[in-house]
């Protein structure tokens, strides 16, 4: 049915009269951001938009290395002290000069719990003892103890600097110093950004961006065919991508992605408290068949949260090949005669299709998996509260640094402190995570990170599924689409539109 609709949309588009390129570039989004305050928003939509609206002290390049952003330089007089020197040409969207007081206010508001609870980022920055601004262009951070991932925790996307005195309702009209400024947000419909002409770095080449919130993948595809959407990044089913690839008005750009798709268990639920049951589920899922057929080869199998090629990636971990007899045996060992559980997902098309395949594959080993899908905000809120037995989500960009282990697997990081949504707890993993955070020896940090990966693969709080490719489908009037492994929106600052 969707194929027929796409073909019809192509006919309508071909019959439409061509006009000049739009003054605004329309970008498809699948769900609205949960919060445009960069001190709070943690979902992928919020963090991707924050990268356009806000600046940070530092940023990551395409190799996940730290580079200057608002800070032109920094030094560490001792292992617990970081001194940042700010650029002098940064201006907020309302015309105010950005100073060290704004940086200090941003972090103090998190540390002093001035923001509406629960705030998961409070746990991320709990290691900071104080933040001071001795002058307009110097910021001094004092840490409670040495913290190796500190610079990565300050990078753009994870946090952004807000003006001093930003009120509680700041998210409704956010003011940053990034390459684009906020214009308006129509709830669950669209978000419009305009170029920040006083941006200190390379200014965007386009005047405006309109992010159209379109929950249904088929509608996103139809709007691409009609020309009412210009770009969709990681927003279409693989089948739709292959169909749209044949459209003469569209281009497809693809590159290996670092984003990580996983299936998570609630370890406090009696159904999944036994690791043998979790391993049985893993052996019952044919990941390769899903990648080859449902995903049309647009992904790589994952063995853990850290992507291959990363400096601390560990290849020698337990993996769970498709093996139904082994799944049966593990369930028998666990004393489970009949297994039934509910799997949570959003209304995303690929997510629902994947859930249906999981359901069928698990049925073949006698497991009854019920699917419950909700729009993203409801789904994500329930996951944060622990109202689930199993679910699947992606880590988008957050797995670029090993500090992801702390955020996801440390026993102190159960929401709202962090993102240990499955309530995983292993004292050995906690100790290794704490070592990775305090050591300044890169070799020691790497060894600890790799040990964490080996233990987590055995404990299996997550079933590692795949690293999806980044795939952008866009109108041929757009040029300069260069995708980063993180799959973020940074490329939108460099695109151009033909007249």
Q: 95 Cβ partners below 8 Å, 6+ apart? A: 198
* Six token digits for residue 87: 């650029």
CA 43, CA 46: separation in Å to the nearest integer? 5
Residues 267 and 214 in one domain: no
CA distances from 13 to 9, 159, 249, 319, 439 (A): 6, 41, 9, 47, 58
The pLDDT of residue 14 = 45
Long-range contacts of 67-71 (CB under 8 A, 24+ apart): 69/155, 69/156, 70/98, 70/103, 70/161, 70/177, 71/139
Residue 93 sits in a domain of what CATH number? 3.90.76.10
Q: Answer whether 368's CB lies under 8 Å from 390's CB.
A: no
Residues 139 and 187 in one domain: no
CA 37, CA 232: separation in Å to the nearest integer? 24
CA 299, CA 465: separation in Å to the nearest integer? 10
Residue 447 sits in a domain of what CATH number? 3.10.105.10
**Terminal-residue alpha carbon distance, the chain:** 34
Residues 112 and 209 in one domain: no
CA distances from 32 to 47, 171, 392 (A): 11, 13, 19
Residues 163 and 271 in one domain: no
Of 172, 197, 226, which one is at a domain's C-terminal end? 172
The pLDDT of residue 5 = 53
* Six token digits for residue 416: 């709202």
Residues 265 and 230 in one domain: no
Residues 271 and 353 in one domain: yes
Q: Is residue 36 part of a domain?
A: no
The pLDDT of residue 350 = 85
* Six token digits for residue 358: 């999981």
Residues 304 and 411 in one domain: yes
CA 3, CA 242: separation in Å to the nearest integer? 11
Residues 235 and 297 in one domain: no
Written as one string, the DSSP assignment of 325-341 is HHHHHHHHHTT-SSEEE
Residues 108 and 166 in one domain: yes
CA 391, CA 371: separation in Å to the nearest integer? 10
Beta strands 231-233 and 470-475 are: antiparallel
Residues 251 and 276 in one domain: no
| Element containing residue 220 per DSSP (H, E) | helix 217-226
Domain count across the chain? 3
- The residue range of the domain holding 283 is 260-468
Residues 300 and 414 in one domain: yes
Main-chain dihedrals φ then ψ at residue 137, nearest 5 degrees: -125, 20
Per run of 10 residues, the mean pLDDT along the chain (length 499 residues) is 52 43 82 94 90 96 84 96 98 99 97 82 88 98 91 87 93 97 97 98 96 95 98 94 97 92 97 98 98 94 91 94 98 96 91 96 98 93 96 83 90 92 98 91 92 98 96 97 89 92
Residues 321 and 348 in one domain: yes
Q: Is residue 462 part of a domain?
A: yes
Q: Answer whether 194's CB lies under 8 Å from 181's CB.
A: yes
Q: Answer whether 70's CB lies under 8 Å from 98's CB.
A: yes
Beta strands 180-186 and 190-195 are: antiparallel
């Amino acid at each position: 049915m969707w194929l027929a609709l796409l073909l019809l949309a192509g006919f309508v588009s071909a019959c439409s009269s061509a006009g000049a390129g739009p003054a605004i570039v329309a970008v498809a989004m699948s769900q609205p951001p949960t919060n445009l305050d960069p001190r709070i928003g943690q979902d992928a939509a919020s963090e991707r938009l924050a990268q356009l609206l806000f600046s940070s002290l530092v940023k990551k390049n395409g190799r996940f290395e730290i580079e200057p952003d608002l800070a032109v330089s920094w030094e560490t007089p001792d292992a617990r002290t970081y001194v940042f020197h700010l650029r002098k040409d940064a201006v907020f969207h309302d015309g105010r000069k950005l100073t060290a007081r704004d940086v200090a206010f941003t972090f103090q508001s998190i540390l002093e719990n001035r923001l509406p609870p629960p705030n998961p980022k409070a746990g991320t920055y709990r290691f900071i003892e104080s933040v001071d601004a001795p002058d307009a262009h110097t910021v001094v951070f004092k840490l409670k103890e040495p913290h190796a991932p500190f610079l990565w925790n300050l990078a753009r996307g994870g946090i952004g600097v807000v003006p001093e005195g930003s009120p509680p309702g700041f998210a409704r009209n956010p003011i940053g110093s990034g390459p684009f400024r906020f214009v308006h947000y129509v709830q669950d419909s669209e978000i419009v950004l305009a170029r920040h002409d006083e941006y200190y770095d390379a200014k965007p080449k386009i005047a405006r961006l309109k992010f159209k919130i379109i929950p249904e993948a088929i509608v996103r595809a139809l709007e691409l065919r009609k020309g009412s959407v210009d770009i969709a990044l990681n927003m279409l089913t693989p089948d739709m991508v292959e169909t749209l690839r044949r459209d003469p008005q569209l281009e497809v750009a693809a590159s290996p992605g670092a984003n990580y798709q996983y299936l998570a268990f609630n370890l406090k639920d009696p159904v999944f408290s036994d690791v043998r049951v979790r391993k049985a589920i893993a052996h019952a899922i044919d990941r390769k068949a899903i990648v080859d057929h449902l995903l049309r080869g647009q992904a790589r199998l994952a063995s853990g949260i850290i992507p291959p090629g990363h400096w601390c990636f560990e290849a020698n971990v337990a993996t769970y090949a498709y093996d139904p007899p082994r799944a049966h045996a593990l369930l028998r060992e666990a004393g489970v005669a009949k297994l039934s559980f509910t799997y949570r997902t959003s209304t995303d098309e690929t997510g629902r299709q994947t859930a249906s395949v999981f359901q069928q594959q698990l049925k073949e080993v006698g497991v009854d998996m019920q699917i419950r899908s909700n729009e993203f905000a409801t789904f994500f809120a329930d996951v944060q509260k622990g109202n689930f037995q199993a679910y699947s989500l992606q880590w988008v960009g957050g797995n670029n640094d090993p500090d992801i282990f702390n955020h996801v697997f440390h026993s102190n990081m159960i929401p709202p402190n962090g993102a240990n949504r499955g309530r995983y707890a292993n004292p050995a993993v906690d100790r290794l995570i704490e070592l990775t955070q305090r050591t300044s020896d890169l070799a020691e940090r790497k060894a600890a990170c790799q040990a964490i990966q080996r233990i987590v693969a055995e404990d299996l709080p997550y079933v590692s599924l795949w690293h999806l490719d980044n795939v952008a489908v866009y109108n041929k009037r757009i040029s300069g689409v260069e995708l980063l492994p993180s799959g973020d929106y940074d490329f939108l600052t460099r695109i151009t539109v033909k007249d």
